[in-house]
Amino acid sequence: MKTRRIGPFEVSAIGLGCMNLSHAYGTPPSRAEAAAVLNGALDNGVTLFDTAALYGFGANEELVGEVLAMHRERIVLTSKCGMQGVDGVRVIDGRPDTIRVSVDASLKRLRTDVIDVLYLHRLDAKVPVEDSVGAMAELVRAGKVRALGLSEVSATTLRRAHAVHPITALQSEYSLWTRNPELGALQACRELGVAFVAFSPLARGFLGGELRDVNALAPKDIRRAMPRFSPQHYAANLKLLDAFQDEAHQLRCAPATLALAWLLHQGEDIVPIPGTSQAAHLWELLAAPQLTLDGATLARLDALINQRTVSGARYNEATQAEIDTEEF
C-alpha cells in the first residue's frame, strides 16, 4: 500500500470510512461481517480508520474499538465531535462543554486513551468556530487528542479555525460528481498545509456501478432524501454511469477503482476514505493507488461527470442549510 501524509501521520493512500458499518445506508451488516471488513482492510495495508460519535449513535465507535483496539499502535484513528445522537435525534452542538463530554465518551467507546485526529463534524451556526476549536485545542493539550480537523466547512471557516489552533485535515465530500472543494477549500488547504480527506469518494455508491434501482433502497437509507438519488434525477445520472463504466472496462479495472484513482490524481495531499459493508469489495478500493491514469483519460472523466452534467442537488434544502461548504 502506498502512503500519504496527514499532518504528522503517514497513512495508507486509501483509508476506510467506517460509517456504513453502522449507519446511514439501510440495514447495517452483521457484527461478523463488519469485523471482516475492518480486519480485511487492516490485513491489506489500510492504516487510516475514520469514525464519528454520530455513526450509529455511538455504535460505530464501539465496533471500531472492539475490533481494532488490539491493533491501536498500527493505525491512525480519527473520529468526530459536534454532531451526535440525542434521544434518538441527530443534533449539531459545537458548544465547548458538549465537545468535552462527547470526546470522553468517544474515547471510552474506542477503547483508547487518545484520538489521532479529532474533527469538528459540522459547524454549529450558533457557536463561533473559534469557540469549538478552542475546546478541541484544550483536548490536545490534555493529551486526549493528537491533531485537529474540520468537516464540511468553507475556506473562510478553515482559516478562522487555523488561526486558533493548527488544523491538520479538512474532510469534505469530493468525487467526480461532487466538485465543491474545487471552489476554494482545496486551495486554502494547500496554502495552510492542511491535508484533504475525501469522504463519499464513490459518490455514495453511485460510482461503484451496482446501484441501478434507487427504488430498492431501504426506507431509512439517507440517500432517499438526496435529490440526486430521486428517481427522476437518477435516471439521468445513470446515463453518465454507463459511459463511466465503459472507461473502467477499457482500463480493465472496477468502476470503484477508477473513481478512486481519479481522486488520487487530483493531488498528493488528498486521501480518500471510501466505505464498504462487504469485505469482498475491498480489493476494488485498495487497487486504486496502483492505477495510473494518463492525461487523456483524466480529461475524458472530467468532461463526463462534473457539476454541470450531474442531475440534482447534493443535499435537500434542510440539510444544505446545515452545511458550511462553498456551493455551485
| Grid cell in block for residue 323 | 452545511
Phi, psi of 158 (to 5 degrees): -60, -45
Q: Is 25 a catalytic residue?
A: no
| Residue 81 DSSP SS3 | strand
What DSSP designation does 143 have? T
Residues 203, 234: Cα–Cα separation, whole Å:
12
| 8 Å CB contact between 63 and 21 | yes
Q: Which residue type is seen at 20?
A: N
Strand pairing class (195-199; 270-272): parallel
Residues 231, 247: Cα–Cα separation, whole Å:
25
From the candidates 55, 119, 174, 234, give the one annotated as an active-site residue: 55
- How crowded is the C-beta side of 236, counted as CA atoms within 13 Å? 13
For 238-280, the DSSP string reads HHHHHHHHHHHHHHTS-HHHHHHHHHHTT-TTEEE----S-GG
Element housing 105 (H / E) = helix 96-110
| 8 Å CB contact between 314 and 180 | yes
| 8 Å CB contact between 92 and 134 | no
| Residue 3 DSSP SS3 | strand
Residues carrying an active site annotation: 55
